Structure 1
Amino acid sequence: MAKPQASNKLSCKVRYPMASAEVIYRYREFTPPSGETDDDLLDLPLDGARPEVHLKAAVLRTDIVRDGLLALGDILSSDLRRQASDRADYLAYLLRKGKRATQAVWEAQKTFLAAKYGEATQQETPLDPLFSVDANGIDIEVFSRDESTYARLHLKAGSAYQAASFTAGTSHLSFTPSLLQALTGIRTHRSVTLHGHSSTAGTAKTVRVPYRWLRAFGQVQAASTLPAERVHLAPVDLYNVLLSLRLRKAKTAPRALRYELVPGQTPRLVLEPWEQVLSASGSPYQGQVPQVVRTWGRQRLNLLGRLLPYAKAVDVYLLGAGLPAFYVLDMESASLTLALSGWTDSGWAGIATFDLLASGGSEDEVLAKRVVNQLTEAPLTLDALSETLRQPRQTIRQVLLQELLKGTLVHDIASGLFQHRPLLAQPLELDRLRYRDAREEQAHRLLATEDQVQLTRIHDLGLDGTAIDGEVQDRQAHRHYQTSFTLDREGRTIKASCTCHEFRRACLKQGPCPHMIALRLRYAREQAALEQARETAEGRRLIRAETRTLTRRQGETVLSYRVSLDERQILLRWGHDPQTLRQQRLLFNRAEEARDAYFARLDRLAEQGFIDASTA
């Protein structure tokens, strides 16, 4: 019987926890430039298992194309997760010396390393870079191995290259070590011809791409549609940040890059924990409200170092605490969008951060097909789509969110354009991408029933973070659990407990239990609802206890105020040193009087130039 022809397909025997999509690539062998002529031929191997994509062009900006592709290679291989140390050789040495290391310990060590880093595990791999061509230019997208960094390089047609012929479409690009080595040998004084085409004559290779990786890819895309604060920086501002991080190493928490934004003033970048202030030289902040935004994962900004000399401007899009930050480098003939995920505690904060995609998607398949067909013809913004299809803006937005999660669309945060770009040859199943694993799915099931997950106590620990206690009642299982966790100033979980059997058996060695995840989600949702409600008089009347932190910078010194409301009392703490704050306690006869005085104090501090840094 004839062997069926290879094609892209998805297969999954189990849903959790090792669910993965099976993808078949077909690449021809890469041929490096010979160097025997004055014209170097950069022949990019594209996937022959997908619809044909073809490009032949003369490179006009050799330096940007070369360094842009090398930067994408660095991002693709980036993995900042802590790798477990291989102690098998040391344990064997102790056994030979007769030391206290049993054979059972040694075998357990080898079993763990084989399961975590063995050949079977390494078969799971990220998706190869996406290579898209149209009349506007070339787009190459990569997502890092640790699922924390996304990048999209756009090469403008007629500026970065001049196309002689092309076939529009999307394929995969094989980023082999030989390709990266050939890129390092390209010089600007030699002309370069870019030739990319797919071939069915290549050898087929099957890989398994984890659904969690595909889910994270779509979630970062959907997060780019959220409202964001736009900050204009000069390239030298980002260079100063990278230089400071290179010269110093933080040994204590917090390790954030903090943006202090005051309307009409240039942004201030503060490196923690040294409180080193770097005043930006870009344009003044155009927002309406002063605020402080704390971002994490600043070491990943080093990935921009290769392209920073070509940048004419840098735009930073800050989505808020716990959400991604997008860095857009404008290089005139090209642009690079770097998205850094906001989570610092990957299992917990990531769940709370990207909860926006867990519900609310549109089920109108007819409208979804109309949207995709419209974007196949030309990229459009949300408003343009709403006007063209004559549908409400919110309805179109829900369709776009669903298609972004499925991988059929891509969003450019700088221009606001949505564009058709299939992640795989066949659409992904939305149900497999909705939750990270079975625990998160169970947590959302608990939250779906009203009053099953309750917050009982939120205690501000000052510099030590915040302690959250709650109760989870699983009516389906007829069980009741007491759950609590503590977040430090970086948003990481430093202490947690639950009365369930799963936690008592393994603690946090296998990650948070569903009840902890549900309580964390409830806390994140109520905090978001509280921030919206406190802007109205009706919402303020519901607030009986909270703490706000306000800061004002005068040169190199910072004066901070911590104002706490607790029923009938107000606690004021202020000073320049967080360790030695002065205190004042005010008592009132009624809780309403304390609340009015509390908000009056906050309004008075805002008039004096203090910035609310509570959610930073």
Structure 2
Amino acid sequence: MSPTDVAEVKLRYAAASDPITDDETFRLHLPTDAVRDGALVAKLSRPGVIRDALMTVADVLASDLRFKARDRADYLAYLIAQGKRVSNEVWDAQKAYLEEKFGGAEAKEESPLDPIVTVGEHGTSIEVFSTDESAYARLFLRSGDAYEAQQRTDGTTHLAIDDTLLRGIGRMRSYRASTLEFGPGPAGEGGSDGVSERDIRVPLRWLRAFGQVQAASTLPAREFELAPIDLYNVLLTLRMRRAKTSPRALRYELVPGETPRLVLEPWDQVIEGTGPAYRGATPVVVRTWGRRRLSTLARLLPHTKRVRVRLVGAGLPAYYILDLGDVELTLALSGWTDSGWAGIATFDLLVAGEVDELLARKVHDGLVAQPGGATLDELATSSERSVNEIRQVILHHMQRGTVVHDLASDRYIARSLLATPPDAETLRYRDEREQQAHRLLATKDAVRLTKVHDLGGEGTRIEGEVEDPEAHRTYKTSFTIDREGRTVDASCTSPQYRRSGLREGPTVPMIALRLMFARHQAELERARGTEAGRKLIRAETRVLVRRQAPRRATSDAPSSGGPAAANTGSITYRLSLDDREVVVRWGTHPLRMRMHRLRFSTPDDAREEYFGRLESLGEKGFIDASAAEMV
């Protein structure tokens, strides 16, 4: 698959119309794709909640946080009018304009899919995925509670959202008896007046990222509850303060038997949770990114009864499940704005391997026969297969976009993103370079880590060699991963890097080394569980944190972080093992830490000292926050 590969999708929509309304009633038509089945006429129980939920979904769909270069066309026109000489940029702009106006007349629009609407017996769901591949939302309206179905045609289709429809949704009021009509409309079947036909080209990389966000939800996760006011306090603080330095993360400190703590970086501002206590087995610290994207939930928080949070791990999506009673909204925020470097490493294990085609068809047919979906255990029991085999089959279907995971009920439901699902193999890799990197990883000893150096607050430096048997070349590559998971100071001896640096994205050796580093970290983490495995660890770094009891701000000394802020103190220990050396750093500020360097005669003595100090700090109440530091 190349970055330019696309899937051709044909859509036919009736024109959006204004709502039919008076003082007591409201009726709005939401145009859906006439090519696919799926229609509903629903009388709403709480129109105000549905209005805010639909507007939230539209906000997620429209979000695009990628960097956009400034449009300098007006400035260049001004320079030309003044008779001043300008660079070749003017000529390039003219060529681009002519190409867009005349040369591309036959070109088709390239864009992500429109919202996916699934109408079923148990309810109606609307799914959206942002253009920048960073946010996913699934809105579920429970039949009989959120609405009363007057007409229903089960199926999956697409919804056209434009400014006219959004204005109509915004006019919904809770005091009016409101009805929503999902369907192609009266003119949809005839295909004459009022119907627009559109052929769009959906990038396969977008479909792949959509499936990966779904696949990440199948991984084991730490789950806990927050009160809606806790998220409100986070959003309030972010509105009042703007971070000028990194890291810009939302950190969760989870201690069994205690309410979760939310820590806003880089200020280290603690917001004490007010929801139920965390029920996990071990204390842990998890850092998440993309906290400002939580602002899309602001309009729904007044209607929310509780918030469930699922944290899969560093660099992987964080899931927020809002329970509004008869409505549920699931928001997934990935750890990147554009799935480049992050997607390379974090989703290496989320691609389905070889699956039995007969089993895959059997599982899918079983889900189609159950409108309410099924759990992994139920599918394993009915198929007489192991849960791991069923999980691989589910990953296969998620990769193709034929199965969705309803996190609120932990059930898998059949629905197809496209009328003709793409082949799973075409979505296996992001592009050809990633495919070549996996080929190198499959070759024994072709990718070698030569040095992994912890830089403290600056991140981690990774160096390695990549041997390509087909090219008969050995490349040296290195890069630094900072505390926000971004790749900086990269270098490579490959022809692509020498030609254009990183303007064309990471090189094949860089991708291979990044994947190898992620696998190496996972192996080290698994090895820590056994005594024999510990002997294999010759170099690593662990971070441990102990949070002091919160000291609430008084009226005489108000907190600058907002009404929910608490003044807390914490001490951090950073222990590093490097062959025969143990380095201990500790302090209350990551940039002002004391250091103690210990040297030993043998690696075994250093390892014994290292693990002994870890156990001693654990007994003193320190929480292992290394997972929050990993990328």
Alignment TM-score, normalising by the size of structure 2 = 0.92
Q: 1:359 to 1:306 in 2, by over 3 A?
A: same
* CA shift for structure 1 position 589: 2.0
* CA shift for structure 1 position 580: 2.6
How far apart are the structure 2 equivalents of 1:143 and 1:337? 12
Which ranges of structure 2 fall in alignment gaps of 5 or more residues? 551-567
RMSD: 2.0
How far apart are the structure 2 equivalents of 1:115 and 1:537? 65
How far apart are the structure 1 equivalents of 2:599 and 2:94? 62
The equivalent residue for 1:7 is: none
How far apart are the structure 2 equivalents of 1:345 and 1:263? 35
Contact 2:212 2:347 in 1 (8 A): yes
How far apart are the structure 1 equivalents of 2:272 and 2:97? 46
Contact 1:383 1:393 in 2 (8 A): yes
The equivalent residue for 1:196 is: 182
How far apart are the structure 1 equivalents of 2:518 and 2:302? 40
Match of 2:74 among 83, 89, 98: 89
User: Which letter does structure 1 place at the counterpart of 2:57?
Assistant: L
Greater RCO between the two (CA within 8 Å, min separation 6)?
Answer: 2
Query: Does 1:298 pair with 2:291?
Result: yes
How far apart are the structure 1 equivalents of 2:578 and 2:337? 30
Match of 2:430 among 436, 439, 449: 436
The equivalent residue for 1:449 is: 443
Q: 1:521 to 1:113 in 2, by over 3 A?
A: farther
Contact 1:270 1:276 in 2 (8 A): yes
SS at match of 1:153: strand
Q: Deviations over 1:88-131 (max 9, x none)?
A: 333444456576x6442332456679999997898211101111
Contact 1:88 1:110 in 2 (8 A): no
How far apart are the structure 1 equivalents of 2:164 and 2:301? 25
Structure 2 counterparts to residues 245-324 of structure 1, below 5 A: 245-324=238-317
How far apart are the structure 1 equivalents of 2:72 and 2:351? 41
User: Which letter does structure 1 place at the counterpart of 2:328?
Assistant: S
How far apart are the structure 2 equivalents of 1:607 and 1:41? 63
User: Which letter does structure 2 place at the counterpart of 1:306?
Assistant: R
How far apart are the structure 1 equivalents of 2:352 and 2:155? 31
Q: Deviations over 1:382-411 (max 9, x none)?
A: 001111121111111111110011011100
How far apart are the structure 1 equivalents of 2:134 and 2:338? 11
Structure 2 counterparts to residues 135-534 of structure 1, below 5 A: 135-198=121-184, 199-202=188-191, 203=195, 204-343=197-336, 346-362=339-355, 364-378=356-370, 379-534=373-528
Contact 2:146 2:327 in 1 (8 A): yes
Contact 2:140 2:327 in 1 (8 A): yes
Match of 1:49 among 35, 44, 60: 35
* CA shift for structure 1 position 359: 4.9
SS at match of 1:395: helix
* CA shift for structure 1 position 242: 0.5
Q: Deviations over 1:325-359 (max 9, x none)?
A: 00000000100000011236731111111112345
The equivalent residue for 1:8 is: none
SS at match of 1:171: strand
Structure 2 counterparts to residues 113-124 of structure 1, below 5 A: 123-124=109-110
User: Which letter does structure 2 place at the counterpart of 1:17?
Assistant: P
How far apart are the structure 2 equivalents of 1:604 and 1:116? 66
Aligned length: 599
Match of 2:21 among 32, 35, 39: 35
SS at match of 1:606: helix
Q: Deviations over 1:298-323 (max 9, x none)?
A: 11000111111110000110001010
The equivalent residue for 1:583 is: 595
The equivalent residue for 2:563 is: none
SS at match of 2:525: helix
How far apart are the structure 1 equivalents of 2:199 and 2:308? 39
Q: Deviations over 1:237-293 (max 9, x none)?
A: 000000000111111111000001111111110001111100000111111111110
Contact 2:79 2:86 in 1 (8 A): no
Q: 1:463 to 1:159 in 2, by over 3 A?
A: same
* CA shift for structure 1 position 201: 2.6
Query: Does 1:128 pair with 2:114?
Result: yes
Bigger mean CA deviation after superposition, 236-245 or 559-568: 559-568
Contact 2:249 2:287 in 1 (8 A): yes
User: Which letter does structure 2 place at the counterpart of 1:200?
Assistant: E
Q: 1:208 to 1:484 in 2, by over 3 A?
A: same
Q: 1:114 to 1:153 in 2, by over 3 A?
A: farther
How far apart are the structure 2 equivalents of 1:103 and 1:578? 46
Q: 1:229 to 1:159 in 2, by over 3 A?
A: same
The equivalent residue for 1:79 is: 64
* CA shift for structure 1 position 37: 6.6
Contact 1:483 1:497 in 2 (8 A): yes
Contact 2:374 2:413 in 1 (8 A): yes
How far apart are the structure 1 equivalents of 2:592 and 2:403? 52
The equivalent residue for 1:594 is: 606
SS at match of 2:110: coil
How far apart are the structure 2 equivalents of 1:113 and 1:250? 39
User: Which letter does structure 2 place at the counterpart of 1:34?
Assistant: I
How far apart are the structure 1 equivalents of 2:83 and 2:481? 43
SS at match of 1:356: coil
How far apart are the structure 2 equivalents of 1:119 and 1:610? 61
Q: 1:163 to 1:27 in 2, by over 3 A?
A: same
How far apart are the structure 2 equivalents of 1:391 and 1:297? 38
Q: 1:27 to 1:98 in 2, by over 3 A?
A: closer
The equivalent residue for 1:6 is: none
The equivalent residue for 1:10 is: none
How far apart are the structure 1 equivalents of 2:292 and 2:604? 46
Q: Deviations over 1:391-446 (max 9, x none)?
A: 11111111111001101110012221000101111121112211111111111111
How far apart are the structure 1 equivalents of 2:327 and 2:242? 33
User: Which letter does structure 2 place at the counterpart of 1:129?
Assistant: P
Runs of 4+ in 1 over 4 A off after TM superposition: 94-99, 109-122
How far apart are the structure 1 equivalents of 2:119 and 2:475? 54
Q: 1:186 to 1:345 in 2, by over 3 A?
A: closer
Q: 1:361 to 1:329 in 2, by over 3 A?
A: farther
Q: Percent identity?
A: 54
How far apart are the structure 2 equivalents of 1:158 and 1:573? 59
Which ranges of structure 1 fall in alignment gaps of 5 or more residues? 1-14
Contact 2:211 2:400 in 1 (8 A): yes
Alignment TM-score, normalising by the size of structure 1 = 0.94
Q: 1:358 to 1:34 in 2, by over 3 A?
A: closer
SS at match of 1:164: strand
